[in-house]
């Protein structure tokens, strides 16, 4: 639940900041007539994201066990690839988010309300689809339910709380009541999400093993289920936060290490590793107040 809360908070805050920046810019530049088109684009993006999430959740339920595991495995791997790209992209571009959105919106206004709608749809829709895919993969990885069963509600509740928190923070930023250092926020949440993504990737590998697409399902690297029962409170915490499995195959362990070591190395190097040769500019702080 904690991991899904963080995913919902981070991804939801990206979308909320995008909306608050776009709305504030239209208000400041006295282009309120474009607001209905912008909100229409946001609404369509939200509906598409919810539909995508519903398709991921309920679409495979009538398929065979092998097909469900194969789909779950491939989508988990895809989700990890997408979230990894997003983490590095945001670490590099957070400071330019506001100016970039303003530039895109200026170009769109010249094309009329349909162009503004498309800008909002693409900006928010990308965040929404990323959120739906990674939340689904995270919920599957932390769920103890049998294939085809209704997913555990705890990850979904955590994600909903994270999204709700993001909406509140986005509104506070818009009103000018809150200033966010985006570089610091996305750096630390990115660090934690890399650990979460490693667990999702390991879970995806296990799904592909159960679908007999990858070998080694019975070749365990370790089995600590006696010391860390999956049903215990601490087992649930480890599963819910880090997607830890007491029974881990060698292939899962190798893939987990092969992902997390270089990813953490390059992320830390990208985010904190370069000492500036001249005095660093002030840390990027985003506000979107229309006042």
For 36-70, how does the pLDDT look when each residue is reduced to its tens digit (9 = 90+)? 988 999 999 989 988 988 888 787 777 888 888 89
Structure tokens at 201: 């990737």
Instruction: Report the C-alpha gap between 202 and 220 in whole angstroms.
Output: 13
Structure tokens at 215: 């070998």
Q: Reduced to 3 states, what is the DSSP secondary structure of residue 281?
A: coil
Q: pLDDT tens, position by position, for the chain (291 residues)?
A: 666 777 778 778 878 888 887 888 888 888 888 889 889 999 999 899 889 888 887 877 778 888 888 988 898 898 898 888 888 877 776 666 667 777 777 777 777 788 888 888 887 888 788 888 877 877 776 664 444 444 556 667 777 888 888 888 888 877 775 676 767 777 888 888 898 889 889 988 999 999 999 998 888 898 888 888 877 777 766 776 677 788 889 999 999 999 999 999 999 888 886 544 455 444 445 555 554
- Listed in sequence order, the DSSP H helices in 94-181 are 97-109, 113-142, 153-175
Q: Reduced to 3 states, what is the DSSP secondary structure of residue 274?
A: coil
For 172-220, how does the pLDDT look when each residue is reduced to its tens digit (9 = 90+)? 877 775 676 767 777 888 888 898 889 889 988 999 999 999 998 888 8
Q: Which of 16, 243, 2 is nearest to 128 (CA)?
A: 16
Contact, 109 vs 115, CB < 8 A?
yes
Q: What does the CA dihedral 170, 176, 181, 183 come to, rounded to 10 degrees?
A: 50
Could you tell me which residues come within 8 angstroms of residue 197 by beta carbon, excluding any fewer than 6 positions away? Answer: 79, 80, 83, 84, 259, 263
Structure tokens at 78: 């895809």
């Amino acid at each position: 639940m904690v991991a899904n809360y963080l995913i919902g908070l981070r991804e939801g805050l990206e979308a909320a900041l995008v909306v608050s920046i776009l709305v504030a810019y239209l208000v400041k530049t006295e282009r309120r007539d474009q607001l209905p088109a912008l909100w229409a684009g946001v609404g369509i993006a939200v509906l598409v994201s919810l539909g995508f999430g519903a398709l991921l959740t309920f679409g495979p339920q009538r398929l065979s066990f092998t097909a469900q595991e194969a789909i779950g495995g491939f989508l988990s791997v895809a989700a990890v690839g997408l979230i990894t790209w997003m983490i590095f992209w945001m670490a590099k571009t957070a400071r330019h988010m506001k100016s970039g959105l303003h530039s895109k919106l200026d170009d769109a206004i010249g094309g009329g309300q349909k162009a503004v709608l498309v800008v909002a749809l693409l900006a928010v829709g990308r965040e929404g689809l990323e959120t739906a895919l990674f939340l689904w993969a995270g919920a599957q990885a932390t769920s103890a339910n049998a294939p085809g069963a209704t997913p555990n509600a705890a990850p979904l509740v955590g994600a909903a709380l994270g999204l709700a928190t993001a909406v509140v923070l986005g509104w506070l930023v818009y009103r000018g009541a809150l200033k966010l250092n985006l570089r610091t926020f996305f750096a630390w949440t990115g660090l934690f999400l890399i650990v979460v993504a490693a667990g999702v990737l390991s879970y995806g590998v296990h799904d592909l093993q159960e679908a007999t697409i990858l070998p080694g399902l019975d070749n365990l690297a370790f089995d600590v289920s006696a010391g860390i029962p999956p049903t215990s409170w601490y087992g649930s915490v480890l599963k819910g936060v880090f997607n830890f499995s007491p029974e881990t195959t060698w292939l899962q362990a190798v893939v987990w290490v092969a992902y997390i070591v270089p990813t953490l190395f390059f992320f830390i190097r990208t985010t904190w590793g370069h000492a500036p040769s001249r005095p660093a500019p002030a840390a990027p702080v985003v506000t979107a107040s229309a006042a």
